[in-house]
A and B are shown apart, each in its own frame.
Chain A
Amino acid sequence: MFFSSCGDQNKDTTVVDSGTYTGVAETVNADEKEIYVRTDDDKLIELYMTDSTEMMMNGKKVMFDKVEKGQKVKVTVEKKGKKNVPMSVMLMEKDMKKDDMKKDDMKKDDMEDKEMNDKNDNYE
């Protein structure tokens, strides 16, 4: 407990303009109900959940403990002073690991190659 907050505080976070952002929950701090969201444009937003923050998943309200590290999220934030206040956090599917993505890409490539070969065979 003594060191967890001290370590997190050195993260290079950005205060973004009010709006809606998609990204990945890079760090989830359950004790402080806090998440760090890495946005699609590579900004790190620090968000402390408040009593008025709505947390949704599949159209239903959920508790904070549903958020997992690496989960894709869509957050609506308001810029207040030098901080971002989360108005709503929508939990989306968990972010795919890079290896899995590579495998999927390779599968797609194989399929495309097969299709091409089949077409070529038909022409011949």
Chain B
Amino acid sequence: MNEVPSLWRQEVWHALSVHLPIVTLLLSTVFCILWLVTNTSNQSFFKKSTVVMLIIGVIGAWISIYSGEFAYDMAVRKICDPQVLKDHMYWAYFAAYTYSGGLAALIIFEFFITKSLVKYLLILILIAGLGALLYSGHLGASLVYNQGAGTYRPSGDCSEFVE
């Protein structure tokens, strides 16, 4: 009889770590755009929100890439089309590097003389990062829901769930 595998298995760590950076990085782009378009009284709030979301997001992104590298070994042997996994990985790296570049631009922003230029540059970087993030997320979802990556397939009679 099959045994239900532990929820703490290696590949599940990726699912655990990946969702927080997706949300925070997405919000960092949204807050950055609002920072650009809103009037002066709200700008400070949106700027602070962009910074906080970006810092949490970039740290989280690299943690989830690390956990994704471990999940890769298992997933690539289980799925039917490994190219989707490779593309997912490529765009995840692209998003992580782009948002890291955005964070670097934000740090430079504090010391730069022509602040407005860096601000526009930052928005472009974060929008590019968002595109990569969404596409990578789409591929990740297709890996899980279409190919069953990282998931356990119960037996036909579900006997392993009977105590």
List chain A residues, Cβ under 8 A from B66: 2
21 example contacts (A-B, Cβ-Cβ < 8 A) are as follows A1-B69, A2-B66, A2-B93, A5-B69, A5-B72, A5-B89, A6-B89, A6-B90, A6-B93, A9-B89, A9-B90, A32-B72, A32-B73, A46-B82, A48-B76, A48-B77, A50-B77, A81-B80, A81-B81, A82-B83, A83-B82
Q: Which residue of A lies closest to B147 (CB)?
A: A81
**Interchain pairs with CB closer than 8 A, number:** 34
Residue B65 at the chain A interface, CB threshold 8 Å: yes
Measured CB to CB, the residues of B under 8 A from A are 65-66, 69, 72-73, 76-77, 79-83, 86, 89-90, 93
Contact A82 B65 (CB under 8 A): no
Measured CB to CB, the residues of A under 8 A from B are 1-2, 5-6, 9-10, 32, 46, 48, 50, 80-83
If the complex has contacts A5-B89, A50-B77, are A82 and B72 also in contact, measured as CB distance less than 8 A? no
Contact A80 B86 (CB under 8 A): no
